[in-house]
Structure 1
Amino acid sequence: MLVAFSITPLGVGDSVGDLVADAVRVVRESGLPNRTDAMFTTIEGEWDEVMAVVRRAVAEVEKSAPRVSLVLKADIRPGTADALNAKTARIESLLSEPRETA
């Protein structure tokens, strides 16, 4: 499964980058395939292992923030491997093909 999630520390002021970095560090140390962009961190693995990493990332932020917001989107597709890269590669492939016009 793929899980894209965003953790936002609340009640700690305007600058939250250091706490977000703490959450991303948890994800990277998990050893599961992952990618972080400006809006989300996406992680790939089995249900229990992915959700455990998300929970640990939230717990890490909770150490310094009185409130935490979590946004999560999941793509559950059994039997799929390397979806983190394959989905992006498919779109890039389609974009590189000439598009027929009417």
Structure 2
Amino acid sequence: MAVFAFSVAPMTAGESVADQVAEAVRIVRESGLPNRTTSMFTEIEGSWDEVMPVIQRATESVARGGHRVSLVIKADIRPGAPAGQITSKIARVEERLAADETETGHS
């Protein structure tokens, strides 16, 4: 199991890339794998064999029309970890922050 964060966009100067990025995100969402999109990355959770073809299809969709493409991938690979790390990692940090606030009296 792993959580992958990736960013894909055509390398065009001065143009909006929203349409191409939206198509890539649509492909990720249609995969059925746990995912979320932020302003910088799309995160997707699953095995290598599940996730990499999705990232490839998303990248290929951005490359349509002959665009040169920028692709950045980061992975948190956790052999044997249970599914749900895409949300539980954040929950663990929030729990620690809440505990720190309780201990220090800061809110």
Does 2:31 correspond to 1:30? yes
Per the alignment, in what secondary structure is the counterpart of residue 84 of structure 1? Answer: helix
Name the % identity. Answer: 56
Q: Tell me the amino acid that sits aligned with residue 57 of structure 2.
A: R
Residue 15 of structure 1 corresponds to which residue in structure 2?
A: 16
Structure 1 position 51, deviation (Å): 0.5
- How far apart, in 1, do the equivalents of 2:11 and 2:69 lie? 6
RMSD between aligned residues:
1.6
Please identify runs of 4+ aligned residues in structure 1 that moved more than 6 A: none
Residue 47 of structure 1 corresponds to which residue in structure 2?
A: 48
Aligned ranges 1:80-99 → 2 under 5 Å: 80=81, 81-97=83-99, 98-99=102-103
TM-score (norm 2): 0.87
Q: Does the Cα contact within 8 Å between 1:9 and 1:65 map onto a contact in 2?
A: no
Q: Tell me the amino acid that sits aligned with residue 16 of structure 2.
A: S
Structure 1 position 11, deviation (Å): 2.8
- How far apart, in 2, do the equivalents of 1:12 and 1:65 lie? 15
Q: Which runs of 5+ in 2 are unaligned?
A: none
- How far apart, in 2, do the equivalents of 1:12 and 1:63 lie? 17
Quickly say closer, same or farther: Cα 1:22–1:12, change in 2 above 3 A: farther
Q: Which runs of 5+ in 1 are unaligned?
A: none
